[in-house]
Structure 1
């Protein structure tokens, strides 16, 4: 005889689904130094991006007759505040339009830290699951204490044994190395003036999860786009929603896969992003929904979340490269 199981319905969290495009195509992820360089720098960026946008459309067109592609653009208002939305956003839209591009969605990078009442970066940090290196015994402090995330065993500190012998140097070791290790150790945050300052790679990882439709808070989607009604943009970044829709596109913001077009100086940052994604315990309900729907459309996604993110890195002219500020 089976025993009855009683459970409060409030304990069951239902994962709300999201509309999904086939691809989220990011047309820019620049620092304030890039905007400070003026319209000419933006024009150069969009002219280069346009070449690759055409290639991305052609590639996706081989797999779908009617591909759903949404475009987005991320503005760094987290590490520095330059100009205002009223001045900067129209300039970005104008230069994109000159290159024959349309930006459907625009996001503030600060929204990847806190979106409305949700401490988004903190909630993602709580979902990190470190990959324990072979032979480790828990001697390394957890990422929640150190703020550093690695993909393997760090170099042990040189120490003296009880008998006085000095232990020799040992190399770091990647957990999933193939023949040779490619070891990475990524800083997720620092402390500045008594508050936590999230790193660029960590916020970019949150951004990727949002674009992939995998962020939830108590089952509800977060960082959901708000339609901008066409009025003048505010003069204060904090008065602009974290994510806005600028066009009447029918293509949803989130997608099965992402493609990011950016200068090659961001390569190291995006390598770190993939390491973070590989060690994030993503909402199981969201994962299941995306997996089923992508399969039903004949465009199944890879099991590993990091493999759903692709990139095109272009080379900038030497005199146009901005100094990284984050």
Structure 2
């Protein structure tokens, strides 16, 4: 029997993913949106259309080589409040998108940000969170991995019990790290429960969603989400769908150098929290290097800071 020996470095350890220039998110669909009826979904998608057109117009002439590559995506909640069935929901969604003049290239289940097959994207991001200790910190505050809360500054100190006759402790306000004169302090719950009963929060899953769209997540060197081609009828159970569906065979790549999300204003607090999480995630160096090298070859400028690769438009639903 012949044996073949290879250097450990002979095989690539971190797989690259194809990248569009922009991943455009056309919306989220939650139980309350579905319960409000088809008309509400129609209004939302109609309001998204001008901003989708504006993105395409803004990219004209900005790509040095070839045409801008833009892929569109949509997220459906099957994690917090699973509702109805794919067979009922998705044909309606795709029909209303077509009526609004929009094409959904990729459709993702929100549960995929928590678990996709044998991979747990959210759990793989958790140990990559690095807190920014406020000035004067003494290390007494529990870490984010212990308590499941992430703050963008220093919380109000707990007064605790005071000795008799010692007087009242002076109240101290929370403060934002890097505040511009006045603080905007935010404390984000990333999960509740523990072990198998852990439930990830909406802001944390939304941050995982952004990292996935930016092509920055790997599990043992492999991309955490791979688009699965889909055509034909949809099943009766959400679990019967792949985590990420590719609905358009001719679509540009799912992941991209930058993301652009068009969302109702009710998502603004969540996306503010997403920015704070993204500022504190350490991405694998090999993945960052792949994106930097590819963008340099294409002549595309990509910010070094992950959070600056995301942009939004928020619209009023009324």
Bucket of the pairwise TM-score, normalised by the shorter protein: over 0.9
1:171 & 1:62 partners in 2: Cα distance? 49
2:107 corresponds to? 106
2:209 & 2:113 partners in 1: Cα distance? 6
Structure 1 residues 79 and 160: alpha-carbon distance in aligned structure 2, compared to 1, 3 A threshold? closer
Gaps of 5+ in 1: 1-7, 318-326
2:196 & 2:13 partners in 1: Cα distance? 37
Secondary structure in 1 matching 2:271: helix
2:82 & 2:264 partners in 1: Cα distance? 21
Task: Check whether the contact 1:13–1:218 (CA below 8 A) recurs between aligned residues.
Answer: no
2:200 corresponds to? 198
Structure 1 residues 55 and 180: alpha-carbon distance in aligned structure 2, compared to 1, 3 A threshold? same
Structure 1 residues 192 and 43: alpha-carbon distance in aligned structure 2, compared to 1, 3 A threshold? farther
Secondary structure in 2 matching 1:93: helix
- Spell out, residue by residue over 1:247-274, the C-alpha distance to the aligned partner (whole angstroms, 9 max, x if none): 1124100000000001001000000001
Give matches, 1:116-131, under 5 Å. 116-131=117-132
Structure 2 residue 58 is matched with structure 1 residue 86: no
Q: What's the TM-score, normalizing by structure 2?
A: 0.93
Structure 1 residues 126 and 13: alpha-carbon distance in aligned structure 2, compared to 1, 3 A threshold? farther
Which stretch shifts more, 36-45 or 14-23?
A: 36-45
- Spell out, residue by residue over 1:38-63, the C-alpha distance to the aligned partner (whole angstroms, 9 max, x if none): 22111101100001111111112241
2:151 & 2:11 partners in 1: Cα distance? 34
RMSD between aligned residues = 1.9
2:97 corresponds to? 96
2:186 corresponds to? 184
Q: CA deviation at 1:165?
A: 3.7
2:298 corresponds to? 297
1:267 & 1:309 partners in 2: Cα distance? 14
Q: CA deviation at 1:87?
A: 1.0
Secondary structure in 1 matching 2:193: strand
2:27 corresponds to? 28
1:176 & 1:53 partners in 2: Cα distance? 33
Q: CA deviation at 1:11?
A: 12
Q: What's the TM-score, normalizing by structure 1?
A: 0.90
1:316 & 1:193 partners in 2: Cα distance? 38
1:52 corresponds to? 51
After superposing on structure 2, the runs of 4+ consecutive aligned residues of structure 1 that deviate more than 3 Å are 10-13, 159-163
Give matches, 1:1-326, under 5 Å. 9=8, 14-64=13-63, 66-159=67-160, 164-191=166-193, 195-228=197-230, 230-317=231-318
Task: Check whether the contact 1:128–1:279 (CA below 8 A) recurs between aligned residues.
Answer: yes
Gaps of 5+ in 2: 1-6
- Spell out, residue by residue over 1:257-292, the C-alpha distance to the aligned partner (whole angstroms, 9 max, x if none): 000001001000000001001111111111111122
Q: How many pairs does the alignment contain?
A: 309
Which stretch shifts more, 191-200 or 147-156?
A: 191-200
Secondary structure in 1 matching 2:198: strand
1:109 & 1:192 partners in 2: Cα distance? 20
